[in-house]
Structure 1
Amino acid sequence: MNDSAQPEAAATPALSISGVSHSYGTRRALADVSFDVPPASFTALLGLNGAGKSTLFSLITRLFGIQAGHIGIFGRDIGQAPGEALRLMGVVFQPRTLDLDLSVAQNLLYHAALHGIGRRDARARSDEVLARIGLADRAGSKVRDLSGGQMRRLEIARALLHRPRLLLLDEATVGLDVKARADILGHVRQLVAAQGISVLWATHLFDEIISDDNLVVLHQGRVLACGAAAEVLARAGAHDINSAFMRLTGLQSGSLAP
């Protein structure tokens, strides 16, 4: 990053959500949601299934139009300057969208072409992101021969091809075993530490959050708490994420699905 970009990165949130509400007919999915994702940070969006996480991601990525409120990506309003805003963002959605019959490298080159990246540059970028995500030795493998965790890492590599400054991941570890989940989390946290990428990580799993993270607790479409995870715990009078979540939502541990 050049020096002229540093003041902006220091002062402007990577993602700013302000007063966002959304309804499906008479059902309110989000109600006056507001929070920021600081630059070069790992921010966890914690909520049970149905809390509104996927709806919020659909609004940020413009799959849905914004009914109320504003969303900005590094100061670019996605309603007023959608192209410029979306170019700053990479996304990994919960459903997998890889072509299983193409190789790892072919999946990346196809995605690069969709972004208008020339073939020579695309090959260089593909090599770069595969090395960054630990898949350089699988470039020629068909995607169907990868493990579930490797497929997720490939989707992260694909989302990084156009060199975004903000990475959104919606329940990226669903269906993975404990080791694969830890591996994905480790890679994403390393992107934040080493590359300065900003991350919004949506999850319903308490153990994916650590005290150094920024934390947003979303429940029934409303933000119940946000800030440094350690501070959220302190304000809730809790010693761990699980207990803090229960106190904030008023739920009992037995009311959660296993």
Structure 2
Amino acid sequence: MSHDPSLAVQVTHLDFGYGGPQILRDVNLSLERGSRCLLIGANGAGKSTLLKVLSGKRLTKGNIKALGKNPFFEGSVGVTYLGTEWALNPVVHRELAVARLLKTMGAERHPERCARLLEILDVNPDWTMNEVSDGQRRRVQIVLGLLEPWDLLLMDEVTVDLDVLVRSNLLKFLKEETESRQATIIYATHIFDGIGGWPTHVAHMWEGQIDLVRDVNEGFPELEEERDRLLKSGSTLATIDNSPLLCVVEKWLAADYQKRGLTGRRNPEGKVMTKWDILSENMRAFGDKYYNYYTNKD
């Protein structure tokens, strides 16, 4: 299959299975660089399998290219996959310091990016993984996964544990990444509240096939028809993309986070430390000794 350099994802007549019935059947999908594609469909439609194939986690000789390469045979450099399996790993439920995880994943190589992600995902480097909630653990995963700049991001339901404000801030950051770096995202989700203005494309899967792909800005008749219907009923575009209840809840949570920041950890001068300040202090104070403590502890 010849490669079109303008395409980040190029899938042609892809079939895939594990030796039994085919999970993916004659899948076709092409996405230009800079696209943000929502992948939707019922449970069992094949969304997770497709994302894993694109990430190089599943062996296939099919006609598939991610960033111009077969992700399994030619490598998946520049491709980041974020799935739900991470939270089930027993390692991330141990008495493991978030600061150490960040150091191990290269926070010092990308200080500005790390600092911004810590703020967006509201992750505290002082946390230890066995003491945090599932939602906080998920936020740590996303920070770690996004530390290294990526060209293709594959997200499989990883925002389901996030509160609406953190999710909103994350999606704004991801949109900025696609616009500023021409990076590409495929995002499988069942949560659509407040996301109306985010995607450039919507792909629908049914029984292992992608049966339609719509460009949000060019040729999405179903969306245009629904918007027209809501506008005639007195709604505005703002309430169509973001429900009034969602906007109220976001404001409440923004106030909660602001109040928490005012009571956060302070430096010797009495100023509230940023999350990057805390992380930098932890990395200087503990270094590899921090790692040895947690990995060798009985």
- TM-score, scaled relative to structure 2: 0.62
**Residue of 72, 79, 102 corresponding to 1:89:** 79
Larger Rg, first or second structure (1 or 2): 2
May I ask how many residue pairs the two structures share in their alignment? 218
**Residue of 112, 123, 129 corresponding to 1:143:** 129
Shift of 1:209: 4.2
Residues 1:192 and 2:178 are matched in the alignment:
yes
Does structure 2 retain, via aligned residues, the 8 Å contact 1:43–1:215?
A: yes
Shift of 1:130: 2.7
Does structure 2 retain, via aligned residues, the 8 Å contact 1:226–1:232?
A: no
Shift of 1:194: 4.4
Question: C-alpha distance in 2, partners of 1:78/1:156?
Answer: 21
DSSP-derived class of the 1:128 partner: helix
Going from structure 1 to structure 2, the CA distance change for 1:182 and 1:149 (only over 3 Å counts) comes to: farther
Shift of 1:53: 0.8
Matches within 5 A, 1:181-220: 181-207=167-193, 209-211=195-197, 213=199, 214-220=201-207
- Write out per-residue CA displacement over residues 164-189 of structure 1, whole angstroms, 9 at most, x where no aligned residue: 21111101122444444434433433
Does structure 1 retain, via aligned residues, the 8 Å contact 2:175–2:198?
A: no
Give the structure with the higher percent strand. Answer: 1
Question: C-alpha distance in 1, partners of 2:36/2:139?
Answer: 17
Question: C-alpha distance in 1, partners of 2:135/2:178?
Answer: 19
- Greater shift, 216-225 or 72-81, is seen at 72-81
Matches within 5 A, 1:29-44: 29-44=23-38
- Write out per-residue CA displacement over residues 18-51 of structure 1, whole angstroms, 9 at most, x where no aligned residue: 2211124442211111112321221111112111
Going from structure 1 to structure 2, the CA distance change for 1:184 and 1:208 (only over 3 Å counts) comes to: same
- Aligned twin of 1:252: none
> Which consecutive residues of structure 1, in runs of 5 or more, have no partner in the other structure?
1-9, 113-121, 241-258
Question: C-alpha distance in 1, partners of 2:186/2:165?
Answer: 21
- Write out per-residue CA displacement over residues 153-211 of structure 1, whole angstroms, 9 at most, x where no aligned residue: 32222223332211111011224444444344334334334444321111133436425
Question: C-alpha distance in 1, partners of 2:214/2:11?
Answer: 14
- Aligned twin of 2:70: 77
Residues 1:64 and 2:58 are matched in the alignment:
yes
**Residue of 116, 130, 144 corresponding to 2:114:** 130
Question: C-alpha distance in 2, partners of 1:25/1:129?
Answer: 42
Shift of 1:107: 1.5
- Aligned twin of 2:156: 170
Question: C-alpha distance in 2, partners of 1:208/1:48?
Answer: 20
Does structure 1 retain, via aligned residues, the 8 Å contact 2:36–2:187?
A: yes
For the aligned residues, what is the CA RMSD? 3.0
Does structure 2 retain, via aligned residues, the 8 Å contact 1:12–1:74?
A: no
Shift of 1:235: 5.5
DSSP-derived class of the 2:33 partner: coil
Q: Which amino acid aligns with 1:45?
A: L
Matches within 5 A, 1:108-123: 108-110=102-104, 112=105, 122-123=106-107
Question: C-alpha distance in 1, partners of 2:152/2:141?
Answer: 15
Does structure 2 retain, via aligned residues, the 8 Å contact 1:130–1:139?
A: no
Going from structure 1 to structure 2, the CA distance change for 1:87 and 1:180 (only over 3 Å counts) comes to: same
Residues 1:229 and 2:216 are matched in the alignment:
yes
- Write out per-residue CA displacement over residues 28-81 of structure 1, whole angstroms, 9 at most, x where no aligned residue: 2111111123212211111121110111122122222115x2221221222541
Question: C-alpha distance in 1, partners of 2:100/2:149?
Answer: 18
- Write out per-residue CA displacement over residues 200-224 of structure 1, whole angstroms, 9 at most, x where no aligned residue: 1111334364255211111111111
**Residue of 79, 97, 113 corresponding to 1:103:** 97
DSSP-derived class of the 1:36 partner: strand
DSSP-derived class of the 1:77 partner: coil
Going from structure 1 to structure 2, the CA distance change for 1:181 and 1:127 (only over 3 Å counts) comes to: same
Does structure 2 retain, via aligned residues, the 8 Å contact 1:104–1:141?
A: yes
Does structure 2 retain, via aligned residues, the 8 Å contact 1:211–1:228?
A: no
Going from structure 1 to structure 2, the CA distance change for 1:39 and 1:132 (only over 3 Å counts) comes to: farther
DSSP-derived class of the 2:42 partner: coil
